[in-house]
Chain A
Amino acid sequence: MTTQVSNRRLLIKLLFGAVVMFGFAIFVLPPLYNLFCEITGLGGKTGGKYEAVDVQIDTSREVSVRFVASNNAYMPWEFRPTQDKVVVHPGEPTEITYYARNTTDRDMVSQAIPSLVPNIVADYFHKTECFCFENQPLAAGEDINMKLVFIIDPDLPEGVKNLTLSYTIFDITDSASDLVTQLQ
């Protein structure tokens, strides 16, 4: 019967469509979203490692950058920037550090997640070196000064004078247990 055949064909096509949408949700949407974040600065996520290019330092402009530290839940480490804020010229590489100390009696691994306010200019904030590129293991009681080198793009939109860069550290010991064994 022709209707039955075409019913079956339609069933297969639509089921295929449903499977495609399922794959779309799991395999396409998350990377698409990350790409979107990178382009638009959505969520204030500053990008990955930046290869320094020769740019003119724009001495006519001053931008103040404030540093903030946060601990996520279950993260008892001491964690703070060593400087409250710096005033820089766009194009000029600047180095600052964050201090972290593992206050527990367990060896732990942390991951710092950056977020820049205003979110929209995250794309103009370049990091040539950052402790957030890799996770940070610390043995019980150990401490460290972690380095961040950044350059503010001279193309930073006019009128933006105050940036605030925050790092939130998360405890990722469970998912990075190989690093904990290295500590021992």
Chain B
Amino acid sequence: MLKRAKALFLSLLSLVVSLPAMGAAVAESSTRQLNMPQGVTEVSQAAYDIHMVMVWVCTVIGVGVFGFMFYVMYAHRKSRGAVAENFHENLVVELLWTIVPAIILIVMAVPATTALLKVYDTDNPDLEIKITGYQWKWQYEYLGEGVKFMSELNTSLDEVYGREPKGEHYLREVTEPLVLPVGKKVRFLVTGNDVIHSWWVPDFGVKRDAIPGLFTAGWAKTDEPGIYVGECTELCGLGHAFMPVVVEVKEEAEYNEWLAGKKAEAAEYAATIGKQWTDEELMVRGEEVYERSCAACHQSNGEGIPGVFPALKDSPIALGPMEGHIAILIDGVAGSSMQSFADQLSEVDIAAVVHYERNAWGNDVGDVTQPIDVLNYKQSK
């Protein structure tokens, strides 16, 4: 019995001891990662270092304490003829094991404090990015650059529900990643739109809660281009697990090119609003948008979840006048989970999804919603 406990403990211990080696070997998240990533920023390195200090301190103390305990369990068992003594106090020993741990803690507080100071060193940024958590996606706004976009999960619900095989990047892919330049200090201003979310990129060591009405700051500066994946870490409703963070760090030239491209895109976009879209074009785009932004609640088949999320199939709104349908998406429904999509979807996307909802799953209104209708609605006020 004892030996088994001992063996089990030793095997656990060997896992702990081998942590640092494994951690180093898998800087990129791999399937068998056991330890905290070292990451690519000063902050993540500091977190890793203090983490390893703690692991080792705890391991040494643990080996000592448990070692002694297992020795006692072996040596002082009745079956070996041990006779119990009767002592139950020793002031010196008791003081000692109060004071010594206290001293160890005081010593450990020093590196712990230094590490924390790094986390808070957010001043003098080269670039500021506002990050807003939505149910269930992220919005990134490059402050002062006029660039802002939504970044949402790009894994299809078919993969989630096992109707299609899961891709290599299952739940780690987004429509558009956050793009950052190397070597620049980036300050993240994190806030929430609806409920509390939390923006986390392990390789940056940045985890900040996204709280409505409140801005908190984190920062990152890295010299290593690459793709870094993170998650939402505060329960935010049913899509909590489905709003990953993907960050792409690019060389400066590439980054500038990307940024210029984004700005041009915005200008170009203005032109597409005026364009007349065909029924097929709208249905294709509408289905994409629907799967991404609506299906989590209203379901792929448009039937919703009874009592929680209303069905769109045969709904009076989807079958009613177009303007009323657009109004729901632009203004939201106060006091329900249906929020305003005015900021989250482009006019083209709203037009497409409205058209799709009015003409899918047996809904057959037959009218064609154009982006210009959406724009007109927005401006008619």
Contacts and interface: CB of A to CB of B under 8 A. Distances in A.
Direct contact of A and B (CB under 8 A): yes
Interface of A: 43-44, 66, 68, 70-76, 84-85, 102-105, 113, 115-119, 140-141, 159-162, 164, 166, 168, 170-171, 174
Contact of B331 (A70, A84, A104, A160): A104
Interface string B109-149: 00000000000101111001010101100000001100000
B45 interface: no
Given A68-B189, A164-B128, A75 B381 contact: no
A166 B215 contact: yes
Nearest to B334: A74
A84 B194 contact: no
Nearest to B333: A74
Nearest to A169: B213
A76 B213 contact: no
Given A43-B214, A70-B191, A72-B212, 18 more contacts: A66-B128, A73-B134, A73-B135, A74-B339, A76-B331, A84-B144, A103-B379, A117-B187, A117-B216, A119-B216, A141-B381, A161-B124, A162-B124, A164-B187, A164-B215, A164-B217, A166-B215, A171-B334
B368 to A, nearest CB: 24
Interface string B215-235: 111000000000000000000
Contacts of B343: 71, 76
Nearest to A68: B130
B33 interface: no
Contacts of A104: 331, 381
Contacts of B128: 66, 164
Contacts of B259: none
B304 interface: no
Given A66-B144, A68-B143, A174-B334, A164 B340 contact: no
A61 B234 CA distance: 40
Contact of A70 (B120, B124, B132, B187): B132
A128 to B, nearest CB: 22
Contacts of A71: 193, 340, 343
A168 B339 CA distance: 16
Contact of A166 (B135, B187, B189): B189
Given A102-B381, A161-B123, A76 B330 contact: yes
Contacts of B193: 70-73
Contact of A115 (B143, B187, B191, B339): B191
A116 B132 CA distance: 15
Interface string B184-224: 00010101011000000000000000001111110000000
Give me the 7 closest cross-chain CB pairs, A-B, nearest first. A73-B194, A115-B215, A113-B213, A73-B339, A117-B217, A141-B381, A76-B340
